[in-house]
Structure 1
Amino acid sequence: MNIRLNLVATTSLVALLSVSAASAQTMEELIEGAKAEGMLTTIALPHDWCGYGDIIASFKAKYPFLTVNELNPDAGSADELEAIRANKDNKGPQAPDVIDIGLSFGPQSKAEGLVQPYKVSVWDEIPDAVKDADGYYYGAYYGVMSFAVNTDLVDNVPTEWEDLLKPEYAGQVALAGDPRASNQAILGVLSAGMARGAAAGTASGEAGLQFFKELNAAGNFVPVIAKAGTLAQGTTPIMVMWDYNALAARDTLAGNPPVEVTVPTKGTLAGVYVQAISAYAPHPNAAKLWMEHIFSDEGQNGYVKGYCHTARFNTMVAQGKVPQDLLDALPPAEPYEKAYFPTVEEQDANKNAVVSGWDSVVGANVQ
């Protein structure tokens, strides 16, 4: 897939019919149905992640008849799928309507029957490489893996994965998630493995686990889920996370402490997040309105404002739909030109290696 770049990139009768029916609804019908439902339940959408705070606010302004019920903002992709499983017979407020998950979790959600198909009105503008042909999940945005560094505490900012093993970084390096459940953390391990020359997939997972085993043995790894607060407090002076999260943390802290964001030139990795509607959504019409909103010009520009590159980025730029101030605020293009977009199969193989091997190989209980 290449969004800012130029990326090359057994269904039942009931499912086929639902695709057709879902796509055939008009906006007026969706709005009327959503009014009757009165609520949308999201999960795992921190307000400082990819501009979601403003995106949710604009959705509320557009559809004031809907209450947005936000579940567990810090959940990982695996947690989102578990929330659907655990609440499939529950139509109450703990049942998510929509999910935002790493690309490798898309096929799993479809195979388990956890999501339902819906093709948004701009379906043709979403690159084929990041969407399920039947509409079960579809990519909204991507970023690249980076290091966010508290320069009050770190004199020499690391620029490559191998730098993190240096003794000067003792007790300073953390992942922004649990690598047994978080897509962001799992792909952080993939990036580390690729930096050591491993091919994306099982090999990158195994090489990445070995890297983190060494990092942990050296005393450099901190088994804490890193975020802006832990960066500022000094608990995790070096955070491994998506560039848009790192840049948002920098902005949130506003120089107290100063934060520098770097993208490693070895193992430069891009990660796509996909959207889907729960097969058991209590509010299916509201869920579809949400999908239409986040893929609209307004929603896509909300992601860009949050430093993300989006599914419709190239098309919207060509049409003059992305404000120049948003384009000017994006990081330099060079890291994105080098970034590798792993396939669904490569991500899935890496995920299996990391999730199954983290405890036995690394042995650090991240929480």
Structure 2
Amino acid sequence: MQSKIAVVLAVSTALASSALAEPSQELIDAAKREGMLTTIALPHNWCNYGAVIQGFKDKYGLKVNELNPNAGSADELEAVKANRGNTGPQAPDVLDVGLSFGPAAKAQNLLQPYKVSTWDSIPDDAKDPEGYWYGDYYGVLGFAVNKDIFPEAPTSFEALKDSSYGSAVALQGDPRTGNSVMMAVYAAGVAEGGEPGEDAMNKGIRYFKTLQDNGNLVPVNGNAQNLAQGTTPIYFDWDYNLLAMRDELDGNPPVEVIVPSDAVIAGVYVQAISAYAPHPNAAKLWMEYLYSDEGQLKWLDGYCHPIRFNDMNERGIISKTMLDKLPPAQNYAKAVFPSLADQAAAKSAVAANWGTEMGQ
């Protein structure tokens, strides 16, 4: 079996104590002498980044220069390349990119290594061992349920096969063109016993073929409007999107977000420091803040699961109020992250087989 990120609930005393570490005064002083941090691709409404940035400024008194909040991961790498040797305000210090872009940026010598004080509480398979990039937050594939239509929400992929969910289950679109949709199919395959990669995807395709044949799969894209109207009363997406949608609907209708008990498949973003950062000490201090309990909890306030979630939950750092807004923590403890090789194999399989199996 190919390696996966396994986020475990239990942590050792050594890991717990490391999570309480603070940045050195020497680093804080050096960052303050630089006076500024330049970020890129951090919209304030994504993962609660507005509050994260404000918290960093309030704590350390540094100015934060925000570049192109709506940039994508590829844009971030291009910004680093375009600003080699540039110490002006257009050169990003830090990056927040999709998983595949971390190793790619390292291979292109665009990153510099740095291990934060809480390094040991970041799962080993969620970080580059040399500290060039490391997971920051993740989402898991789940489904939302309109509780007006289904007061007792199903809790697994297996349950959705039941005839009581006729004309109820939807994907957001075509898994050949959307990553979250592809990973929903992949998760179903894992629930069906599929091995990582191609096997899981093919079993996932057969799973949705079963739902189609028994009349449970709706040939309409799932979204908030269709869920509220009852057209797609159950649909799949990343949990952070579903939880935000639930809050926006504000009980009209009541919505429950389910992390399936039989497959918890996660996708992670990663942080890194530019090799050409004009403010390298501010960049390191930013990383210390993001990976502190305070920074991680601010991401969680935006429903992005911080990479140290299980460590903090074990230590009782996460409030009951926040935990009550989330699906059960024990489900997240089972989260696995398909490797880049697994995802590539799955993408090839869905491109080759989805249309043939589903008649599309």
Give the TM-score, by structure 2 length. 0.71
The alpha-carbon deviation at position 241 of structure 1 amounts to 2.5
Structure 2 counterpart of 1:90: 82
- 1:259 is the counterpart of 2:227: no
Following the alignment from structure 1 to structure 2, what is the Cα–Cα distance between the partners of residues 312 and 253? 29
> Does the alignment pair 1:146 with 2:147?
no
Which one of the candidate residues 65, 68, 86 is aligned to 1:67?
A: 65
Cα RMSD of the aligned pairs, angstroms, is 4.2
SS of the residue aligned with 1:26? Answer: helix
Q: How many Å separate the matches in 2 of 1:282 and 1:214?
A: 55
Asked whether the equivalents of residues 181 and 355 of structure 1 are also in contact (C-alpha less than 8 Å), the reply is: no
Change (3 A) 1:257 1:212: same
Residue 41 of structure 1 corresponds to which residue in structure 2? 40
Aligned to 2:18: none
Q: Is the 8 A contact 2:41 2:76 kept in 1?
A: no
Shift of 1:47: 2.2
Moved more, 276-285 or 203-212: 276-285
Q: Distance in 2 between matches of 1:330 and 1:287?
A: 31
1:292 to 279, 285, 288: 288
Partner letter of residue 349 of structure 1?
A: A
Number of aligned residues: 332
CA distance in 1, matches of 2:332, 2:255: 21
Go from structure 1 to structure 2 and tell me whether the alpha carbon gap of 1:280 and 1:303 turns closer, same or farther (over 3 Å shift): same
Q: Which runs of 5+ in 2 are unaligned?
A: 13-23, 84-88
Aligned to 1:341: 336
2:9 aligned residue (5, 11, 36): 5
- Deviation of 1:254 (Å): 1.1
Contact 1:3 1:313 in 2 (8 A): no
> Equivalent residue for 1:17?
none
The answer to whether the Cα contact below 8 Å between 1:148 and 1:259 also exists between their aligned partners in 2 is: yes
* Residue from 187, 190, 196 that aligns with 2:192: 196
What is the aligned-residue identity percentage? 39
What is the CA–CA distance in structure 2 between the aligned matches of 1:46 and 1:214, rounded to whole Å? 41
Are the counterparts in 1 of residues 114 and 284 from structure 2 also a CA contact under 8 Å? Answer: yes
Q: Which residue of 2 aligns with 1:29?
A: 30
2:348 is aligned with what amino acid?
Answer: S
1:295 Cα deviation from its structure 2 partner: 0.8
Pairwise CA distance, 1:135: 0.7
Q: Contact 2:264/2:331 (CA < 8 Å) preserved in 1? A: yes
2:344 corresponds, among 338, 352, 355, to: 352
* Stretch moving more, 210-219 or 123-132: 210-219
Aligned to 1:250: 246
Which runs of structure 2 are paired with 1:171-190 in the superposition (5 Å)? Answer: 173-175=170-172, 180=177, 182=179, 184-190=180-186
Residue by residue over 1:26-59, the C-alpha shift from the partner in whole angstroms, topping out at 9 and shown as x without a partner, is 2222333352x6x42124x57254x444324423
CA distance in 2 between counterparts of 1:176 and 1:53 reads: 30
| CA distance 1:177–1:106, shift in 2 (3 Å) | farther
Give the 3-state SS of the residue equivalent to 2:171 in structure 1.
strand
Alpha-carbon distance between aligned partners in 1 of 2:177 and 2:29, rounded to the nearest angstrom: 42
State the distance in 2 between where 1:25 and 1:236 align: 55
Q: Distance in 2 between matches of 1:194 and 1:169?
A: 23
**Cα distance in 2 for residues equivalent to 1:178 and 1:31:** 47
Unaligned segments of structure 1, at least 5 residues? 9-22, 74-78
Residue aligned with 1:71, SS:
coil
SS in structure 1 of the partner of residue 339 of structure 2? helix
Q: Considering only CA atoms, is the larger Rg found in Structure 1 or Structure 2? A: 2
